[in-house]
Structure 1
Amino acid sequence: MQMQDRHQSLQQAGVNEAEVSKLFRNTYSLLAMTLAFSAVVAFISMSLRLPHPGLILTLVGFYGLLFGIHKTRNSGMGLVLTFALTGFMGYTLGPLLNMYLGLPNGGQIVSMALGMTALVFFGLSAYAIMTRKDFSFLSGFIMAGFVVLLCAVVASFFVQMSGLQLAISAGFVLFSSAVILYQTSAIIHGGEDNYILATVTLFVSIYNLFLSLLQLLGVFSSD
């Protein structure tokens, strides 16, 4: 009886490991495709010099598509909306990149921000995967960070302070890094079983990380 229980436990562990591996493959395959699609849309947006949709339309589009993805996460429509969301975010990125590229050292700033984003993402992901540590304890920090950053962003509309903008960007770097660790750990330890939601979470974290580093580098490199 004891041998049978042990055999069942080992078999269950093998099944769980296979499910985690499949979830990783699906998540990172979809993440790679959405990043590539978003980059193409951003390039088109830059080439055509399309105007930025503005804060209100950006928020409505982002949260509207995000709501739709959560509702359809277990269907093919969830994939369609995921590409719609990442494409929309790529479109909003185009005008911002044009603005930075218009600076004297804009190309260097964008390249550095892109390289640092890749380094942070792959470094944190590799650390979570190799150590297999459980980062679920970061959930409280992430929730608190979201509330603090939201209040800071709202305050920035009424108080024009360069120091506040700098603090918000630095805060988003820490927040996005924590989310990457948390989400990767959730995939490993069973806290997340939907590759569409995992992909969207990681994509948004990478997007915010890149924008925040872009803003920080833009400030520090200015005369």
Structure 2
Amino acid sequence: MHDQNYALNPAKTQSREVTSMLRNTYGLLAVTLAFSGLVAFLAQRANVAYPSIFVVLIGFYGLFFLTAKLRNSPWGLVSTLALTGFMGYTLGPILNRYLGMANGAEVVSAAFAMTALVFCGLSAYVLTTRKDMSFLSGFITAGFFVLLGCVLVSLFFNISGLQLAISAGFVLFSSAVILYQTSAIIHGGERNYIMATISLYVSIYNLFVSLLQIMGIMGSND
């Protein structure tokens, strides 16, 4: 009996760790989404201009690497809020652009609903089936560089349909990251809830913006 209890303890310990990891990750994710949404609302109401691409890149990657460095300290929570707040700030002008369309409110509402549906559906699938999604790592790595190349091309060349293709690519990429990151939490590939939160938050942000672009492009052709 003693040997049996000893054998079961590691499994129970791992289960408690996974439960704690999920609770902390989704708790912090909810806080960051709420805070980012508030900042986006204030930026939208103030009608702020969208920052230059250099400000966006420096702000995002600077705060991202700062958060990664501080991920094991309480200051990591502060930098996480700073990062998600900054991204919320960049979302405000984007929302204003789409709300200025004739059917802008419908486009934003539809993109928000689809983002919530995709995230909840993909997360529920992994949490229910406990399927290991580590095989997506290669796709995610390749997809990152492909999308980066397409974005750089779009900055210098006006190619018809490229923006729509990039947005569709980001939808697939973000969906793959959500599957991969959720699986990593369950199977022990990720044990830092701050980094897990950032990964999921960025995926949700990219998914929402990409769906906005797709629906905006389709809506403008009606």
Amino acid at match of 1:132: R
CA-to-aligned-CA distance 1:114-165 (integer Å, 9 cap, x gap): 0000000000000000000000000000000001000000011121123111
Does 2:26 align with 1:28?
A: yes
CA distance in 2, matches of 1:161, 1:155: 9
CA distance in 2, matches of 1:73, 1:182: 20
Calculate the TM-score normalised by the size of structure 2.
0.98
Q: What are the ranges of 5 or more consecutive residues in structure 2 without an aligned counterpart?
A: none
* 1:195 shift after superposition: 0.3
CA distance in 1, matches of 2:72, 2:170: 29
CA distance in 2, matches of 1:106, 1:175: 25
Amino acid at match of 2:163: Q
Give 2:59's match in structure 1, choosing from 61, 69, 91. Answer: 61
Give 1:153's match in structure 2, choosing from 133, 151, 156. Answer: 151
* 1:212 shift after superposition: 0.3
Residue aligning to 1:8:
6
Give 2:212's match in structure 1, choosing from 211, 214, 218. Answer: 214
How high is the sequence identity, in percent, across the aligned residues? 63
* 1:179 shift after superposition: 0.1
Residue aligning to 1:80:
78
CA distance in 2, matches of 1:30, 1:70: 15
CA distance in 2, matches of 1:5, 1:45: 60
Does 2:49 align with 1:39?
A: no
CA distance in 1, matches of 2:32, 2:52: 23
Amino acid at match of 2:130: R
CA-to-aligned-CA distance 1:74-118 (integer Å, 9 cap, x gap): 001100000000000000000010010000000000000000000
Calculate the TM-score normalised by the size of structure 1.
0.97
* 1:6 shift after superposition: 3.2
After TM superposition, which residue ranges in structure 1, 4 or more long, deviate above 3 angstroms?
A: 3-6
Amino acid at match of 1:169: S
* 1:53 shift after superposition: 1.1
CA distance in 1, matches of 2:112, 2:69: 32
Give 1:105's match in structure 2, choosing from 99, 103, 113. Answer: 103
CA distance in 2, matches of 1:162, 1:17: 50
Amino acid at match of 1:62: F
Q: What are the ranges of 5 or more consecutive residues in structure 1 without an aligned counterpart?
A: none
Residue aligning to 1:93:
91
CA distance in 2, matches of 1:136, 1:116: 25
Amino acid at match of 1:63: Y
* 1:16 shift after superposition: 0.5
Give 1:171's match in structure 2, choosing from 169, 172, 176. Answer: 169
| SS of aligned partner of 2:25 | helix
CA distance in 1, matches of 2:17, 2:136: 24
Residue aligning to 1:195:
193
* 1:4 shift after superposition: 4.1
